[in-house]
């Protein structure tokens, strides 16, 4: 029973509103630096847009989706009214305040440092403070997820935690811990310099702190998607989850191994020792495991739905799936993009293969494919699935939903595949314009043009998405019934304590962080002579 | 009741076995990939730099390895070549790096101000330049040719203009040029 | 379902979870810190401890290197964003007094009527650097070198603070009367030239890069040519020589003409 619908809707609406703005900026960025745009006479505008796009898409949009979805899961899966609603609203307003505080300096061109804010480039202090506020708001959500689960456990001692909530809380703990890296970088290093209290900063240490956050944050973004894979899609297409315990193990593996692997983002950095690069590389290989497990379990779960509908044969059952159901489409598209994006990820995590494409447009193509593609298309699906339960009105235009999803999928392929290709050709990242007339890079022009066209397809799809949701606010009323999650083929009556609690895995996550990050951080933090002068951006 | 339970527990076992088998396959795939990476790294000499070395970016021009007269390519006694370069807002020095083909080359570079990157297009020579730290990468070109060398990390508003060049020339031609001592570059050529 | 049931070796999940994690950690640590370092024949380590420390990333200072002698004197100024960032009123006052002797060429208001550069509103770090370089011989000019040789560090700082305090000439490029050359607005990326404004202040100021708006055309052209030929070499690590060398002579003329544009109401020194 979803009681706090306004709370959840507020999170989703704000998420999708800022998503729409950032998506528009993204399409403009693709256009303006492609052969079909003219060179910006003020390249700072490109970097300003890039900062806004990255900050919103990375720090604000997915956080709000995870939070809103998390509140919905807490109430529905636990069948318990949300405890701490006032705190939840406080968290929401903190995010609003932080976003506004950050966006103002960005819009004024005082914080064009990009969302990775690599010092010693330093922007306006309020940009960084705004990001900190957003993170603090999200930590309130983390606390509430933990508290709500504890209240439920007291009322249901020994009972198996519903899978959706188990995964949701795991994701929240992962986020809380992974945000600490960027928080330390901001609070201990960047903000004092931006505020004028210091004027030197250890750029290498800052990159290490940021790498702590930079990888696991994508798993935080990924959690709602995987929760939807396991607990929404099987139900929506009339199937069952193949294995409840494997699902739990996958989420547990994410909780433990997503975090202490961030230094594969610093493979090419000179301030990290080769031994630690190797350890992180090995553990990064491990994090492929839960995704491989998930792909198997979800395919098996989907096959169950197909065979229940009369599907036959080794692969013939695929035809029997409910392809007119937007949830089925979203899952299929997500898996295709996950396959390609995941393969790209395997390349990135291998030091030797990464050397060819590090910081080229391959990387940008990769994370747009996996995040903008595989992950965000499931955010759409989650919204479509939840909307009638939040608004009390039905989403009528199923055909439009399918079209929107098709456009997003096609748009993402058209945008990101050529992007990967130009990355292999060596096109560098983050440039406001390129001289495609020069014969050395002229071969890249056509691919970049395709990507720009893809950007417009995505924009159209994004607009469609918002129109569908807006229409859904005014559609005929309907009683969608209680929000339900997928059942497992073998619903667990009891679950081993390690698969029903998080303490052990959080402890392992923290322990691995200490072993994998402890020395590199302390090493540089305690070294004198590694700090360099700050370079303030936009000083005129 | 018992047949239902038995049936359920049998199928639960089947499911568990199938999942375990897949998990084993997945682990084997991953381990193989990791071993392949380690092998490729050693066999092809593409390993991360072996040490962390620190320096002071605002004083590079005063003393030490990256003073202006020491930037460029130098032929070492053992026939290898060392290239020293600086990345700064918004150019590399030397702006055109000249190296011989078929020779082990060590690139040593650092940043004079903010984070830059060095990428030699068409190769896997690709490293970050973080102010305060020295980057080192090994490279070897099998044939002669010209390459573009853009900066691949945002270094503020002139980043889009930061493109260097690399010229790979014949080994003997390089040796001839290197006879006079000093540091070579192809700046102005 | 208490913590005691979870954190105990009789719980197989605990044992397996902790055991596998610890095993992977130990194996990869040995591989990364001992095996792999020694498997690289192209790297030399003094001993196992050296290999472990290097793999861990203990910061080392590079061994000192004998660099070839600099044949000519180069700039020895160290510039950061902190250089002269907080001028006091006294410093500016002292600078005003000192600037009286600069006024003959650079104008009483810091805006020159001849081809000597305008100094009014110039970034303090720029004047600071150029005076130091004139004094040390990293930059030489028949008129400036004798003036600079007699300045103390304090006087150089005061002069810099004073001129920075004066209002600078604004950018004045009304289109379409005066064209905006591509080399200035866009640079020439493939030749490694960023837009001028990315350092020279209209987009961003890189510390030490002068404000160019309204500057003497002849002066700017002469400096660009001097950088291009290498005759002027006080740009730290060749940052302007890299640019000027890659510019064509026409581009140098266009850039100088562009920046020389001044609004019609500029007050210059009277004759």
- Mean pLDDT value of segment A178-200: 96
Secondary element (H or E) of residue A250: helix A244-257
- Same domain, residue pair B88 and B174: yes
C180: chain A residues, CB-CB within 8 Å: 41
Tell me A369's DSSP state.
I
**Domain coverage including residue B138:** 53-178
Task: Residue A212: name the closest of A275, A288, A276 by CA.
Answer: A276
pTM: 0.95
Give yes or no for A522 touching C (CB within 8 A). Answer: no
State the Cα–Cα distance between residues A534 and C17, nearest whole angstrom: 44
Give contacts of C 34-93 with B, CB under 8 A.
36-37, 39-40, 42-43, 45, 54-55, 57-62, 64-65, 67-71, 74-76, 78-80
Q: What is the pLDDT of residue C271?
A: 43
Whether A389 is catalytic: no
Give contacts of A 271-290 with B, CB under 8 A.
271-274, 277-278, 281-282, 285-286, 288-289
Whether A429 is catalytic: yes
Which of B30, B134, B157 is the closest to A44 by Cβ?
B157
**What three-state secondary structure class fits A428?**
strand
Question: Domain ranges in chain C?
Answer: 11-55, 89-259
Report how far apart, in Å, the C-alpha atoms of A28 and of each of A32, A46, A456, B153 are: 6, 9, 8, 21
A292/B29 touch (CB, cutoff 8 Å), yes or no: yes
Catalytic residue among A46, A340, A367, A409: A367
**What three-state secondary structure class fits C188?**
strand
What are the residues whose beta carbons fall under 8 Å from the beta carbon of A518, sequence distance 6 or more? none
Rg (chain B; Cα; Å)? 25
- Mean pLDDT value of segment A222-239: 96
Least trusted range by pLDDT, from A196-200, A477-481, B40-44: B40-44
Give yes or no for C62 touching A (CB within 8 A). Answer: no
Q: What is the pLDDT of residue A326?
A: 97
pLDDT at C267 over 70: no
Whether A309 is catalytic: no
Give yes or no for A314 touching C (CB within 8 A). Answer: no
Determine the distance in angstroms separating the CA of C166 from the nearest CA of chain B, rounded to an integer: 27
State the DSSP string of C109-171.
TS--SSSSPP-TT--HHHHHHHHHHHHHTSS--TTHHHHHHT--HHHHHHHHHHHHHSPPPPP
- Mean pLDDT value of segment A331-352: 93
Q: In this structure, what token pair is assigned to residue A234?
A: 């099987």
- Same domain, residue pair B82 and B147: yes
pLDDT at A277 over 50: yes
Structural domain count of chain A: 1
- CA torsion sign, C110 to C114 to C116 to C117? positive
Query: Which value does ipTM take for this structure?
Result: 0.93
- Same domain, residue pair B2 and B69: no
By the 8 A CB rule, do C87 and C165 touch?
yes
- Mean pLDDT value of segment C161-175: 92
Q: What is the pLDDT of residue C26?
A: 96
Q: Which residue would you say has higher pLDDT here, C65 or C95?
A: C95
State the Cα–Cα distance between residues A480 and A385, nearest whole angstrom: 10
pLDDT range class, residue C270, cuts 50, 70, 90: very low
By the 8 A CB rule, do C226 and C190 touch?
no
Q: In this structure, what token pair is assigned to residue C24?
A: 């992977």
**Domain coverage including residue A428:** 5-531
Cis-peptide, bond into residue C176, ω within 30° of zero: yes
Q: What is the pLDDT of residue B43?
A: 79
pLDDT at B41 over 80: no
- Mean pLDDT value of segment A382-389: 96
C193: chain A residues, CB-CB within 8 Å: none
Determine the distance in angstroms separating the CA of B56 from the nearest CA of chain A, rounded to an integer: 7
Choosing among B36, B123, B126, B145, which should be mutated to test the A contact, i.e. which has the most A CBs within 10 A? B126
State the Cα–Cα distance between residues A260 and A507, nearest whole angstrom: 12
Whether A502 is catalytic: no
- Mean pLDDT value of segment A266-289: 93
- Mean pLDDT value of segment A289-309: 94
Give yes or no for A367 touching C (CB within 8 A). Answer: no
Give contacts of C 111-150 with B, CB under 8 A.
none
Least trusted range by pLDDT, from A317-321, A323-327, B35-39: B35-39
pLDDT range class, residue C268, cuts 50, 70, 90: low
Residue B102 lies in a domain: yes
Give yes or no for A473 touching B (CB within 8 A). Answer: no
Q: Find the residue in B nearest to A523 (Cα).
A: B52
pLDDT at A512 over 60: yes
Q: In this structure, what token pair is assigned to residue C16?
A: 């397996």
Secondary element (H or E) of residue A201: strand A200-201
Q: In this structure, what token pair is assigned to residue C224?
A: 């660009």
**What three-state secondary structure class fits A477?**
strand
Q: What is the pLDDT of residue C43?
A: 86
Helices (H), chain C: 3-6, 12-30, 36-38, 48-56, 89-98, 103-106, 124-136, 144-149, 153-165, 182-185, 197-200, 217-229, 239-246, 249-259
Determine the distance in angstroms separating the CA of C93 from the nearest CA of chain A, rounded to an integer: 24
**What three-state secondary structure class fits A101?**
helix
The bridge status of strand B145-150 relative to strand A535-536 is unpaired
Determine the distance in angstroms separating the CA of A59 from the nearest CA of chain C, rounded to an integer: 27
Determine the distance in angstroms separating the CA of C135 from the nearest CA of chain A, rounded to an integer: 25
Secondary element (H or E) of residue C61: strand C59-61
Q: What is the pLDDT of residue B3?
A: 64
Query: Which residue has 């381990």 as its token pair?
Result: B31
Say what the alpha-carbon torsion angle C3, C4, C10, C14 is, to the nearest 10 degrees.
Answer: 20
What are the residues whose beta carbons fall under 8 Å from the beta carbon of A390, sequence distance 6 or more? A2, A5, A8, A9, A12, A72
Residue A539 lies in a domain: no
Q: What is the pLDDT of chain A when averaged over all its residues?
A: 95
A428/B152 touch (CB, cutoff 8 Å), yes or no: yes
Whether A366 is catalytic: yes
Task: Residue B55: name the closest of B46, B47, B65 by CA.
Answer: B65
Determine the distance in angstroms separating the CA of C109 from the nearest CA of chain A, rounded to an integer: 22
Secondary element (H or E) of residue A24: helix A5-32
Least trusted range by pLDDT, from A133-142, A370-379, B145-154, C73-82: C73-82
Residue B109 lies in a domain: yes
- Mean pLDDT value of segment A520-524: 95
Whether A219 is catalytic: yes
By the 8 A CB rule, do C202 and C210 touch?
no
The interaxial angle of helices A503-526 and A274-308, nearest 10 deg, is 150
State the Cα–Cα distance between residues A181 and A186, nearest whole angstrom: 9
B33: chain A residues, CB-CB within 8 Å: 285, 346, 350
Bridge partner list, B133 = B54
pLDDT range class, residue A54, cuts 50, 70, 90: very high
B160/C61 touch (CB, cutoff 8 Å), yes or no: no
Instruction: Give the 3-state DSSP-derived string for A321-332, with helices as H, strands as E and coil as C.
Output: CCCCCHHHHHHH
Determine the distance in angstroms separating the CA of C270 from the nearest CA of chain B, rounded to an integer: 39
Report how far apart, in Å, the C-alpha atoms of A403 and of each of A95, A455, A461 are: 32, 16, 8
Q: Can you give the length of chain A in residues?
A: 540
Give yes or no for C219 touching A (CB within 8 A). Answer: no
pLDDT range class, residue A535, cuts 50, 70, 90: very high
Which of C17, C37, C203 is the closest to A508 by Cβ?
C17
pLDDT at A64 over 90: yes
Q: Find the residue in C nearest to A276 (Cα).
A: C56
Give yes or no for A430 touching B (CB within 8 A). Answer: yes
- Same domain, residue pair B12 and B37: yes
The rounded percent of chain C whose pLDDT value lies above 90 is: 75
B52/A273 touch (CB, cutoff 8 Å), yes or no: yes
C242/B183 touch (CB, cutoff 8 Å), yes or no: no
**What three-state secondary structure class fits C259?**
helix
A498/C14 touch (CB, cutoff 8 Å), yes or no: yes
Which of B53, B132, B148 is the closest to A532 by Cβ?
B132
Secondary element (H or E) of residue A44: helix A44-55
Task: Residue A519: name the closest of A272, A349, A351 by CA.
Answer: A272
- Same domain, residue pair B17 and B96: no
- Same domain, residue pair B88 and B29: no
By the 8 A CB rule, do A4 and A72 touch?
no
CATH code linked to domain C89-259: 1.10.760.10
- Same domain, residue pair B35 and B71: no
We report the CATH number of the domain holding residue A122 as 1.20.210.10
B58/A533 touch (CB, cutoff 8 Å), yes or no: yes
Give the burial string for A295-327 (b: 16+ CB within 10 Å, else e): bbbbebbbbbbbeeeebeeeeebeebbbeebbb
Q: Find the residue in A nearest to C18 (Cα).
A: A508
Structural domain count of chain B: 2
Secondary element (H or E) of residue A122: strand A121-122
Give the burial string for B105-121 (b: 16+ CB within 10 Å, else e): bbbbbbbbbbbbbbbbb
Instruction: Give the 3-state DSSP-derived string for chain B, with helices as H, strands as E and coil as C.
Output: CHHHHHHHHHHHHHHHHHHHHHHHHHHHHHHHHHHHHHHHHHHCCCCCCCCEEECCHHHCCCCCCCCHHHCEEEECCCCCEEEEEEEECCEEECCEEEEECCCCEEEEEEECCCCEEEECCCCCCEEEECCCEEEEEEECCCCCEEEEEECCCCCCCCHHHCEEEEEEECHHHHHHHHCCCCCECCCCC
The rounded percent of chain B whose pLDDT value lies above 70 is: 97
Q: How far is CA B104 from the centre of its chain?
A: 14
Give yes or no for B152 touching A (CB within 8 A). Answer: yes
Q: In this structure, what token pair is assigned to residue C242?
A: 């890299």
Whether A430 is catalytic: yes
Which of B41, B128, B135 is the closest to A352 by Cβ?
B41
Q: How far is CA A402 from the centre of its chain?
A: 23
Report how far apart, in Å, the C-alpha atoms of C15 and of each of A508, B31, C9 are: 12, 22, 5
Which of A270, A430, A537 is the closest to B128 by Cβ?
A270
Give yes or no for A519 touching C (CB within 8 A). Answer: yes
Least trusted range by pLDDT, from A327-341, A426-440, B133-147, C256-270: C256-270
Determine the distance in angstroms separating the CA of A492 from the nearest CA of chain B, rounded to an integer: 10
- Mean pLDDT value of segment A281-285: 91
Which of B37, B113, B136 is the closest to A350 by Cβ?
B37
Q: Find the residue in C nearest to A253 (Cα).
A: C17
A118/B115 touch (CB, cutoff 8 Å), yes or no: yes
Q: In this structure, what token pair is assigned to residue C88?
A: 């006091």
């Amino acid at each position: 029973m979803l009681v706090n619908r306004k709370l959840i809707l507020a999170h989703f609406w704000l998420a999708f509103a800022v998503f729409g703005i950032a998506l528009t900026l993204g399409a403009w960025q693709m256009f303006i630096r492609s052969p079909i745009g003219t060179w910006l006479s003020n390249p700072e505008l490109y970097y300003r847009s890039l900062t806004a796009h990255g900050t919103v898409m990375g720090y604000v949009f997915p956080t709000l989706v995870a939070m809103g979805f998390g509140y919905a899961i807490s109430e529905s899966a636990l069948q318990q009214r949300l405890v701490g609603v006032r705190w939840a609203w406080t968290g929401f307003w903190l995010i609003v305040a932080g976003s506004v505080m950050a966006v103002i300096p960005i819009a004024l061109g005082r914080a064009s440092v990009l969302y990775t804010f690599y010092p010693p480039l330093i922007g306006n202090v309020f940009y960084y403070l705004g990001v900190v506020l957003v993170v603090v708001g999200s930590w309130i959500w983390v606390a509430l997820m933990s508290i709500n689960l504890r209240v439920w456990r007291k009322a249901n001692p020994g009972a198996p935690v519903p899978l959706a909530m188990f995964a949701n809380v795991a994701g929240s703990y992962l986020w809380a811990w992974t945000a600490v890296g960027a928080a330390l970088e901001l609070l201990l290093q960047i903000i004092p310099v931006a505020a004028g209290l210091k004027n030197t900063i250890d750029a290498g240490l800052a990159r290490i702190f940021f790498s702590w956050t930079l990888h696991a944050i994508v798993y935080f973004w990924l959690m709602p998607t995987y929760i939807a894979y396991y607990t929404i899609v099987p139900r929506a297409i009339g199937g069952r989850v193949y294995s409840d315990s494997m699902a739990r193990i996958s989420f547990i593996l994410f909780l433990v191994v997503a975090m202490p692997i961030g230094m594969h983002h610093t493979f090419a950095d000179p301030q990290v020792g080769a031994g630690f690069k190797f350890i992180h590389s090995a553990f990064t290989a491990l994090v492929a495991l839960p995704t491989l497990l998930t792909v198997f379990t979800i395919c098996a779960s989907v096959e169950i739905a197909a065979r229940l509908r009369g599907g036959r044969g080794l692969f013939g059952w695929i035809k029997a799936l409910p392809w007119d159901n937007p949830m089925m489409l979203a899952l299929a598209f997500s898996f295709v993009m996950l396959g390609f994006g995941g393969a790209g990820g395997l390349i990135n995590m291998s030091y030797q293969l990464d050397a060819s494409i590090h910081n080229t447009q391959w990387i940008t193509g990769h994370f747009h494919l996996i995040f903008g593609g595989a992950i965000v298309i499931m955010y759409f699906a989650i919204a479509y699935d939840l909307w009638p339960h939040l608004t009390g009105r039905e989403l009528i235009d199923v055909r439009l939903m399918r079209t929107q999803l098709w456009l997003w999928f096609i748009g993402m392929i058209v945008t990101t595949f050529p992007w990967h290709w130009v990355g292999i050709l060596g096109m560098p990242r983050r440039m406001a314009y390129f001289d495609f007339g020069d014969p050395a890079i002229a071969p890249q022009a056509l691919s970049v043009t395709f990507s720009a066209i893809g950007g417009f397809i995505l924009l159209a799809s994004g607009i469609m998405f918002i129109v569908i949701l807006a229409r859904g606010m005014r559609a005929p009323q309907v009683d969608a019934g209680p929000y339900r999650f997928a059942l497992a083929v073998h619903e667990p009556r009891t679950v081993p304590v390690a698969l029903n609690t998080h303490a052990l895995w959080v402890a392992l996550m923290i322990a691995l962080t200490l072993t994998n990050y402890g020395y590199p951080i302390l090493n540089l933090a305690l070294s004198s002579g590694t700090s360099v002068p700050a370079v303030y951006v936009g000083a005129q | 009741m018992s047949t239902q339970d038995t049936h359920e527990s049998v199928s639960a076992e089947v499911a568990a076995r199938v999942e375990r088998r897949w998990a084993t396959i997945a682990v084997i795939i991953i381990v193989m990939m990791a071993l392949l990476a380690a092998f490729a790294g050693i066999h092809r000499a593409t390993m991360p730099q072996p040490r962390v070395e620190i320096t002071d970016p605002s004083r590079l021009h005063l003393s030490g390895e990256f003073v202006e007269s020491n930037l460029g390519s130098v032929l070492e006694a053992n026939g290898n070549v060392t290239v020293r370069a600086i990345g700064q807002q918004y150019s590399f020095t030397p702006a055109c790096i000249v190296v011989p083909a078929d020779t082990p080359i060590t690139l040593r570079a650092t940043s004079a101000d903010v984070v830059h990157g060095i990428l030699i297009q068409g190769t896997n020579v690709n490293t970050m330049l973080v102010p305060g730290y020295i980057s080192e990468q090994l490279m070897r070109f099998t044939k002669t040719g010209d390459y573009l060398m853009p900066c691949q990390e945002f270094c503020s508003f002139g980043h889009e203009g930061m493109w260097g060049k690399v010229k790979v020339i014949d080994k003997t031609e390089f040796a001839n040029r290197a006879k006079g001592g000093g540091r070579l570059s192809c700046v102005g050529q | 379902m208490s913590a005691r049931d979870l954190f105990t070796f009789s719980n197989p999940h605990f044992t397996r979870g902790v055991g596998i994690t610890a095993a992977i950690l130990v194996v990869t640590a040995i591989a990364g810190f001992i095996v792999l370092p020694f498997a690289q024949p192209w790297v030399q380590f003094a001993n196992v401890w050296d290999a472990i420390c290097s793999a861990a990333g203990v910061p080392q200072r590079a061994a000192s290197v004998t660099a070839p002698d600099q044949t000519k004197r180069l700039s020895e100024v160290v510039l950061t964003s902190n250089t002269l960032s907080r001028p006091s009123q006294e410093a500016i006052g002292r600078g005003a007094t000192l600037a009286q002797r600069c006024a003959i060429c650079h104008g009483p208001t810091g805006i020159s009527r001849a081809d000597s550069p305008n100094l009014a509103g110039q970034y303090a770090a720029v004047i600071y650097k150029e005076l130091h370089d004139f004094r040390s011989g990293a930059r030489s000019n028949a008129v400036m070198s004798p003036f600079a040789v007699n300045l103390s560090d304090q006087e150089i700082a005061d002069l810099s603070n004073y001129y920075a305090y004066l209002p600078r000439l604004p950018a004045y490029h009304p289109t379409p009367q005066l064209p905006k050359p591509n080399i200035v607005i866009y640079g020439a990326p493939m030749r490694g030239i960023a837009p001028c404004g990315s350092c020279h202040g209209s987009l961003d100021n890189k510390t030490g890069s002068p404000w160019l708006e309204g500057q003497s055309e002849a002066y700017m052209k002469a400096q660009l040519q001097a950088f291009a030929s290498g005759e002027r070499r006080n740009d730290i690590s060749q940052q302007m020589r890299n640019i000027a060398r890659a510019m064509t002579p026409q581009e140098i003329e266009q850039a100088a003409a562009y920046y020389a544009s001044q609004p019609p109401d500029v007050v210059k020194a009277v004759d």
